[in-house]
Amino acid sequence: MVLASLAGALVGAPMLLPETTAADRLPRRSLARRSSRFVRIDGIEVHHEVHGPRDAAADTTSDAPTLLLSHHFYGSTAVWDRLVPHLAERHRIVAWDRPGFGLTERPVRGQRPINPYTRAAAARLGWSLLDTLGVDRAVLVGASAGGTNVLEMYAQAPERVRALILLAPAITGDVGAPPPLRPLLRSAQVRRIAPRVVERLVGRVTRERSTRSWADPSRAEEQDLAPYRDLLRVQGWSRGLWEVMTAEPPPDLRSVLRRIDVPTLVVTGAQDRTIQPRWGRWVAANVPTGRFALIDDCGHVPHQERPTELAAVLRPFLDEVLTG
């Protein structure tokens, strides 16, 4: 019964599944890119990338405004590759992998006093990463579940946030098992077999799966599919994903929205079927400083599907809030 419910919850999640077997998994660092950086924070090795003007990318004391990019569920730093060139000429871009994703270390839960896979822990880690880079204040940019992350960061340290950019943000609910099942799924007995169950559900990373949330899947190229293939080649990917999905009850950040007092831009794709545009409008309307922008002919991941159009929306907003 438990496994049947578990399988149903996992199949219902928008997971992208690898072609490789457990024996083919690779150490995290072996998948690093030329732009990859690793830093140990609070006992966790955090993978991130820094882009921008030459001094901004190399010098942690640069005056270039910093944008922290927080990816969507099952994403990684690589999902921002199409957007970064549009913004890096004038801003320092810090993209990072949250615990459970990408090339950031997946510590064993239970061996640490604080569960690193909770939203609060991920938010603290985001601030600690900026501290390591010498950044006091930043614009926080979050896509879907990354929107949840940056809202949690805002709640922890609103004085450090210059502005918020929320791309189809997840405000309530998330990916994973139904809330009533989560305590059972966190039990030691189920946790021992959970990664193997996730592995048994694997399939192939196809264009259709990888672009399910796009308005026009034909736009996707190999570089758009690669992040998902690489993400699920990492040793321990299934355990990390399981930990994130069962760490805690789903979020409800509606009360945070009302407290936001920094410029906030909510952007949604007009053909977003994952988080429909009306929810983006609702979020913007419930933020005292909120604004809303709709990108035509675009699905759930505008930073991948329509980066040029997204940048055209973001640039004037950033110019206003960072120079005004």
273: helix, coil or strand? coil
Provide the sign of the torsion angle of the four alpha carbons 73, 78, 82, 88, taken in this order. positive
pLDDT tens per residue across span 199-226: 655 455 667 778 889 999 999 998 898 8
Q: Which positions of the chain have pLDDT values less than 70? A: 1-24, 54-62, 111, 173-206, 324
Distances in whole angstroms, Cα of residue 239 to Cα of each of 154, 246, 323:
28, 11, 44
Q: What's the full length of the chain, in residues?
A: 324
Provide the pLDDT for residue 136: 96
In 10 A of CB 104, how many CB atoms?
27
Rounded distance between C-alpha atoms, residue 41 and residue 47, angstroms: 10
Provide the pLDDT for residue 59: 55
Instruction: List the strands of the sheet with 264-269, edge to edge.
Output: 36-41, 44-51, 92-96, 66-70, 138-143, 161-167, 264-269, 290-295
Provide the pLDDT for residue 176: 55
